[in-house]
Amino acid sequence: MSHTTMNLKVKVWRQKNATTPGAFVTYDVAGISDEMSFLEMLDVLNERLITEGGEPIAFDHDCREGICGMCSLYINGKPHGPWQANTTCQLHMRAFKDGETIVIEPWRANSFPIVKDLTVDRSAFDRIIQAGGYISVNTGNAVDGNSLPIEKAKADDAFAAAMCIGCGACVAACKNSSAMLFLSAKVSHLALLPQGAPERKTRVLSMVAQMDKEGFGACTNTGACEATCPKEISISNIARLNKEYLGASLTAE
């Protein structure tokens, strides 16, 4: 199978550290194969920058299989680039045309401060999970897997919510920098399962409180998060979260 090579311009946000103001820098990148992944293209650029004695572009990545949630990048005005239901690491250069200028920006939100270049600090998500995104289990013998019957449809919905990899694309896409799709996926995942029932009310209240403390915006149901989510988490989870919150806040002491 034949492949083509292309020459591109890459306009990247460069920022030395959290406190130094950043700016866009445009690089010419030549001889990129359309079979390369997007991150491989950045690897090629970074190799060149290192060879030339420059500072390589910092960007987050880990598994490069679309499952870990580490990669980010706001590419040409969309989190994770132009493809649907796709992470940046699974984006390939055939999505672009020869001679194109690709604009790469970091996730923009006050709650995701820039560490360096395109790398942002997403530990706010970790703290939201720590506030209640878990179930408490007493130690003892392992419980038989089939001892708690779960309706298939509910198990499927819970699994669909659990697909969230916590990449933060929802926050990056949202005009309000709201973390509601992420939070609703975590809350729905456990609210749908019997194991999540005992801490159901305290969980949603604690997690919403932590989300607000982290400085994320409020949801206005525009749907941008759902449209960009690499795992296609449904926005109906946000409505479920709202129901959980309303019920829990009305009945809480």
Partner 1 sequence: MTFKQMFTSSVGKKLVMAFTGIFLILFLVVHAGLNACIWAMDGGLMFNKAGHFMGSFVVPRVLEIGLFVGIFLHIIQGYMLTLENRSKRKIGYEVNYSKGSKWYSRSMAILGTLVLMFLIMHIYHFWTPSRLGGIENIKTLNTFILNGVEYHNLYGEMQLVFTNPYIVILYVLACGSLAYHLAHGFQSAFKTIGVHNKRYHVMISTIGYGFAIIIPLAFAMMPLSFYFHWVN
| Residues at the interface with partner 1 (CB under 8 A) | 11, 24, 74, 76-79, 103, 105, 108-111, 173, 175-178, 180, 205, 208-209, 211-212, 215-228, 235-247, 249-250, 252-253
Per DSSP, 143 falls in state: P
Nearer to partner 1, 5 or 202 (CB): 202
Nearer to partner 1, 90 or 111 (CB): 111
Least distance (Å) from partner 1 to the CB of residue 20? 13
Tell me which residue has tokens 């795992």. 231
Distance of alpha carbon 134 from its chain centroid, rounded?
19
Least distance (Å) from partner 1 to the CB of residue 35? 26
* Residue 209, phi then psi, degrees to nearest 5: -60, -40
Least distance (Å) from partner 1 to the CB of residue 238? 7
Nearer to partner 1, 195 or 222 (CB): 222
Nearer to partner 1, 45 or 207 (CB): 207
Least distance (Å) from partner 1 to the CB of residue 52? 25
∠ CA(212), CA(112), CA(243), 5° rounding?
35
Rounded to whole angstroms, the Cα distance separating 75 from 104 reads 5
Q: Which of these, 84, 35, 34, 41, lies nearest to 61 by C-alpha position?
A: 41
Q: Which of these, 168, 164, 177, lies nearest to 218 by C-alpha position?
A: 177
* Residue 7, phi then psi, degrees to nearest 5: -110, 130
Nearer to partner 1, 27 or 48 (CB): 27
Least distance (Å) from partner 1 to the CB of residue 1? 31
